[in-house]
Amino acid sequence: MKRFKIAALVTATAVTASLTFMPLAFAAAKPSGTNKNSASSNTSSSGKSICKASYAVGHAPKQMTIPVIKKPFKNKTFTFTTNCGDVVIAADGVKAPLTVISMAYMANGGYFDATLCHRLTTKGIYVLQCGDPTASGSGGPAWQVPDENLPSAGANSYPAGTVAMANSGPNTNGSQFFIVYADNSMLGPNYTIWGRITQGLEIIKAIAAKGSNNSNGDGDGSPNQTVEIIKASAK
């Protein structure tokens, strides 16, 4: 079967993946909390901690060659093992094939391992943003993927559980993605939707309940609860 490079990829420069409600020059501050020496913990209704300590820090992205893709395009299941529990995503490899292939390639290649989710928004737009090894908001791989499966404009284009790509403009998708933990009505139809959470949405909601450090304005900053992707995989 013919194998070919991902179409319309361009060599990435240091861009910041962001959402339209923030300037494209946005770069998240270093994660708050105590990820370097200890970590604050989410607690369940019983008071038992559901998050383990994390000692992850921002670091240079793993160097990877541009992925190769092979038809037929297929759906995949991603598992992000975090210090707060497993988050499982059903990825739509039919409607967003290039994105899913790229993300699966990075997940299985260790790109996301020991990385921090660097941004949480809690007012107007409700997302946890992850996928940048540098934890600065400006990291990404050596390629970019064109937009796919953009939603129609509407009152709730990104319902709770949606997983979409963050970007710095059209066709600039890299490794940064966001998880929607509550219905969003303020996001424009500019972000590739590539999956939905099938397990772990309650974890993201518990993280969101702890808020952010507001380093980028009220309700926008690094999550107060340190969130580390310990290991990622796709199959």
In this structure, the number of other CB atoms found within 10 A of the CB of residue 20 comes to 14
pLDDT in tens, 164-184: 999 999 999 999 999 999 997
pLDDT reading at 57 higher than 90: yes
Q: Which of 23, 4, 8 is nearest to 171 (CA)?
A: 8
CATH 2.40.100.10 fits 1-235, yes or no: yes
| Rounded CA separation 212/42 (Å) | 13
Residue 99 or residue 42, greater confidence? 99
Mean of pLDDT values over 33-42: 42
Q: Are 192 and 177 in contact (CB under 8 A)?
A: no
Domain boundaries, the chain: 1-235
pTM: 0.84
pLDDT reading at 224 higher than 80: yes
What's the token pair of residue 59?
A: 């670091």
pLDDT recorded at residue 24: 24
pLDDT in tens, 67-120: 998 899 999 999 999 999 999 999 999 999 999 999 999 999 999 999 999 999
In this structure, the number of other CB atoms found within 10 A of the CB of residue 171 comes to 14
Strands of the 228-234 sheet, one edge to the other: 115-116, 228-234, 76-82, 85-91, 193-199, 162-165, 177-180, 125-130, 119-123, 220-221
Sign of the Cα pseudo-torsion (50, 55, 60, 66, in order): negative
